[in-house]
Amino acid sequence: MSVLLQVEHVTKRFGGLVAVNDVSFELYEGEILGLIGPNGAGKTTLFNCIDGVYTPEEGRILFRKQDITGWKPYDVARFGMARTHQIVRPLADLTVREHVMVGAAFGAQSMGLRQAARVADEVLEFLGLAERADWLAGSLNVAQKKRLELARALASQPQLLLLDEVLAGLNPAEIAEMVATVKAIRNRGITIIMIEHVMHAIMNVSDRILVLDFGQLIAEGTPKEIAANPKVIEAYLGDPKLAERLMQGGE
Amino acid sequence: MSRQKPSLPPALRPADFRPALPGRHWANWALPLALVLALGLFPLLTGKDVHRETMFTLLRAVVMAVSLNIILGYTGYVSFGHVVFFGLGGYVGFYLVAVQGRTLWEALLAGGLAAGLLAWLIGIGILRLRGAYFALVTIGVNEAVKAFIQNFDPFGGPLGLTMNFSVYQAYGGPRTMLQMTYYILVVLAALAVLLSYAVRTSKFGLGLLAIREDEDAAEVMGVVTPMAKTWAFVLSAILPGVVGALFFFRNGSIEPHEAFPLHLSIEAIVMVMLGGQGTVWGPVLGAAGYQAMRAFLLTNRYLKNIQLTVSGALLLLIVLFIPAGLIGWLRRRFPASRRVLL
Amino acid sequence: MALEWTSILSFLIDGLMLGFVFGVAAMGLTLIWGVMDVINLAHGPLIALAMFGVYLLMAALGLGNPYPALLVITLLALPVGMGIYYVAVHRVINAPHLSSLLATYSVNMMLMGVMNAVFGGAPRNIDFSLGSVTLFGDIVIPVARLVAALAAVLIAGALYFFLYRTRLGRYIRAVTDNRDAAELVGVPSTTILALSFGLGVLLAAFAGGLIATIFPFTIFDGGRYELKSFVIGVLGGLGNPIGSLFGGLVLGVIEGLVPMFLETSWTPVIEFALFVLILLVRPTGLFGGKS
């Protein structure tokens, strides 16, 4: 398996606060990598460093063997990386299809509107939103908005997909559906990093997991290894039963 | 896992499968265009000069509002400096005709180019600012350009320039010139509507809408925002520049306070709001409605003196209660109309 | 050009005195911006209205100087401003910027329409004299300007005291920092927003009244002082009312010194170029703005 993304000694500071501290890891093609950690651990900031929203103070990021440190988000997007946002802010006055067309038209495969509409319709069908294509995005419910966010990212036909809490706010049935969808996306050959708080889901879906705490990478390994890692348990409020709960499911 | 059914690869779609593109419908350009042409040709029917002059003011407002809508309505950047393009185009065009002895056609071209160039130059810098900061800086740009031209001797400084009336002989004398320039404006207004439709329904326009709704998200989706915004600004600047050159050529004189009145920018915003920002119809209806209301108030015996107050009260009511404007309100109220009412 | 130090000094002193007064006008604008992110486009007509208010009240009361009238008009401005807030601004306080800009501009139109109908466009002048004082032998300063500058400094001090030493002032600052959080701890945010808008209008009216004691004016002059307030507000940091006093000083120095080197008509070019430049390079202003 070849390396798709290399994060090398990345550090991001805000004033005196070190949000991401000397983080390094590698991501292999076709992998699903889970990124977990307590609130404020720097997970979303790390995403923002990877996709160009922030430029890290130190370290570098290689994507498809290319140093993309300091690239603008749109350049990174056009180079084949897409992401979803934790807080979904759908563009209120656009229809669901128009939304997804933005992702398709301006993403990795820059394409005309007609083709973008075609791709959008396919992606909407794949994600079960086809009947909603002509709705205004603002009128969707939470689960649908999450799917829309995913559709937008997927329509850009990325090689790497960054998912920021796509399960948050979903009920158990919706979570199960979304987990299946994430796996199906990977089966289409798209590599995934996902930030998640829903532990049983991330344990179930990830090939490998990284744990961030106070901006630092404190553990890396298979879900099983992570669940048994004392550092991780300590980071999560020193809950001794954590490992059991992680493996059994539930928050 | 019914959601997981595999999608059809593109090749398996019927070859003639043509998904509907947002906003693409003949009604969305043909009807506004028909309205503009009807308004423009109405003085031909009555044959009265006074109607032609009223319509000149109205069509000028249409061009200003429709072009402003590209940056304000489609892109979401509130510019209070739209009139700077009108004024600069006016000055450049006027200078070429009155001082350099060039033709009207060259003046129109130069006026549009100058306005577009100014938009390009300042756009790169000021479009980094968002929200109210952008609005403020556009006021600053307008005032700075106006103050500069007041000190710029080739443009006549604070007194401005006047045209020798003999210039009009080349265009068939003043009467014919007034006719001809009027029909040029009709053409420009029609062009503005077509441009507005073309931008709104293009890939470029979709990028602008994405910026309007959430600029950070648009960037992450691959919209090259600095480029898109700057081009939107340039596109919105060109026609006001051409109309400025036309207006002051016709006017026979130009001076700074006439060329850069802040209230003209704000009136253009009001028109866009009135009709519905971000739509093709909206600015056309807004401009026509606003001008019609003004004309009514100015000719009404009782309201004449407090015309501005009545307009202000009306504006406030619209801002407070129907902020999406007429077209926006209709589109929301009757979702079925969305396809043919843009 | 004779650049004698006394003439430089007299230009400078004059510029600084006016700078303080313009600074108070800008304070009103920037206080409102800081608390609620609203640019009050009715600022200019409100300044002009206060000018006419002071002028008419002084004439009606048959007073020999405008200061009692100024005091009354200033106090009246507070409820007027609060009224404007409740009628025109409150509904759009959380809407996109365009809405609040247009809402305040509609107030501008209404005021201009009424003033145009009632007062017309003719210039007025408050007719009184306090004589002048002479400093350093040959620098002549009209007392009215000195009084205006002192009054400006006093009200700036009063504003500082109010914002930092009183409960209401603390509420205003809390709403400025974070409206939601302030509401959670029991600050009546709507009242505080209205009060802040009222205070902003009060400051505009006070500045307008002071300017009327110095210069002749028309109903259209408000627009000029509004533009000056924008420049000063940006110089001092938008949302930082006390910074506006310093912004006013910077503007005063520019207005005092530019005419010594260039024709006076270049002053607005320099001011607005600086305004644009500062917004681009340092939008928080020279003295730090909100956040």
In which band, very low, low, confident or very high, does the pLDDT at A237 lie, cut at 50, 70 and 90?
low
Average pLDDT for residues C150-158, to the nearest whole number? 94
Cα–Cα distance measured from residue C19 to residue A240, given in angstroms and rounded to the nearest whole number:
67
Q: How far apart are CA A249 and CA A232, in angstroms?
A: 16
Chain B nearest CA to C88, separation (Å)? 7
Task: Answer whether C99 sits within 8 Å of B319, measured CB to CB.
Answer: yes
Percent of chain A with pLDDT over 70: 92
pLDDT band at A251 (very low <50, low <70, confident <90, very high): very low
Question: Is C62 part of any domain?
Answer: yes
Higher pLDDT, B187 or B16: B187
Tell me the pTM: 0.90
Measure A94 CA to nearest chain B CA, in Å.
8
Contact A114 B224 (CB under 8 A): no
State the average pLDDT over residues C262-291. Answer: 81
Check C92 against B158: CB less than 8 A apart: no
Give tens-digit pLDDT for A110-149: 899 999 999 999 999 999 899 888 888 888 888 888 899 9
| CA of C14 vs chain B CAs: smallest distance (Å) | 23
Tell me whether B154 touches chain C (CB under 8 Å). no
Does B15 or A206 have the greater pLDDT score?
Answer: A206
Beta carbons within 10 angstroms of residue A229's beta carbon: 19
Secondary structure element (H or E) that encloses residue A11, with its range: strand A3-14
pLDDT score of A93: 75
> What one-character-per-residue DSSP string does A117-156 give?
HHHHHHHHHHTT-GGGTTSBGGG--HHHHHHHHHHHHHHT
User: What is the reported pLDDT for B19?
Assistant: 60
Model confidence at B1: pLDDT above 60: no
Establish if C276 belongs to a structural domain.
yes
CATH of domain B23-335: 1.10.3470
In a domain, C192, yes or no: yes
Q: Per-residue pLDDT tens for B167-212?
A: 999 999 999 999 999 999 999 999 999 999 999 999 999 999 999 9
Indicate the pLDDT class of residue A101, thresholds 50, 70 and 90. very high
CB contact under 8 A, B147 and C265: yes
Share above pLDDT 90 across residues of chain C, in percent, rounded to a whole number:
60
Q: Count how many domains chain C has.
A: 1
Confidence of residue B20 (pLDDT cuts 50, 70, 90): low
CB contact under 8 A, B306 and C114: yes
For residue C136, the model assigns a pLDDT of 73
Mean pLDDT of chain B: 90
Name which of B127, B264, B277, B319 to mutate to probe chain C: the one with the most chain C Cβ atoms within 10 A of its Cβ: B319
In chain A, where the domains are located: 1-80+160-251, 88-158
Mark out chain B residues that contact chain A at CB-CB < 8 A: 1-8, 10, 13, 17-22, 202-203, 206-207, 209-210, 212-214, 216-225, 278, 335
Residue A209 has a pLDDT of 94
pLDDT digits (tens, 9 = 90+) for C109-145: 999 999 999 998 899 998 888 888 887 777 888 899 9
Q: Tokens standing for B57? A: 């003011």
Name the average pLDDT for chain C: 90
Lowest mean pLDDT among B202-206, C7-11, C274-278: C7-11
| Mean pLDDT in residue range C269-276 | 92
Q: Which residues on C lie below 8 Å from B148 (Cβ)?
A: 269
> What was the ipTM of the complex prediction?
0.88
| First-residue to last-residue Cα distance in chain C | 44
Q: What is the CATH number of domain A1-80+160-251?
A: 3.40.50.300
pLDDT for the residue numbered A228: 84
Neighbours of C175 (CB within 10 A): 25
For residue range C32-45, list pLDDT tens digits in order. 998 998 999 999 99
How many CB pairs below 8 A link A and B?
117
pLDDT exceeds cutoff 60 at A226: yes
Q: C134 lies in a domain?
A: no
* pLDDT score of C154: 94
Alpha helices in chain C (DSSP H): 5-36, 43-61, 67-84, 97-119, 143-165, 167-177, 179-184, 189-212, 221-236, 241-261, 267-281
- Distance between CA atoms of residues B276 and C118, nearest Å: 34
Segment C71-84 shows an average pLDDT of 97
Is the confidence at residue C240, as pLDDT, over 70? yes
